[in-house]
Amino acid sequence: LLFGSDLQDLPIAWGLGPILFARLPVEQKRMILGGNLRRLLTEYSLHP
């Protein structure tokens, strides 16, 4: 799952709120808010 905020159309808090207040462990929130994208970019990067 990757975070997307529709930043140009909506206040970023509207996108962050549901994740920040979800009943999820902190580590899962970290993954949604950037960890998953970081992992994918590292895994599929042409430059190690």
Kindly state the average pLDDT of the residues 13-37. Answer: 90
pLDDT exceeds 70 at position 30: yes
Judge whether 5 and 15 are in contact, CB under 8 Å: yes
Judge whether 2 and 36 are in contact, CB under 8 Å: yes
For the CA atoms of 33, 43, 8, 12, the dihedral, rounded to the nearest 10 degrees, stands at 10
Model pTM score: 0.69
Kindly state the average pLDDT of the residues 1-6. Answer: 69
Higher pLDDT, 15 or 19: 19
Residue 16 is predicted with a pLDDT of 86
Higher pLDDT, 45 or 2: 45
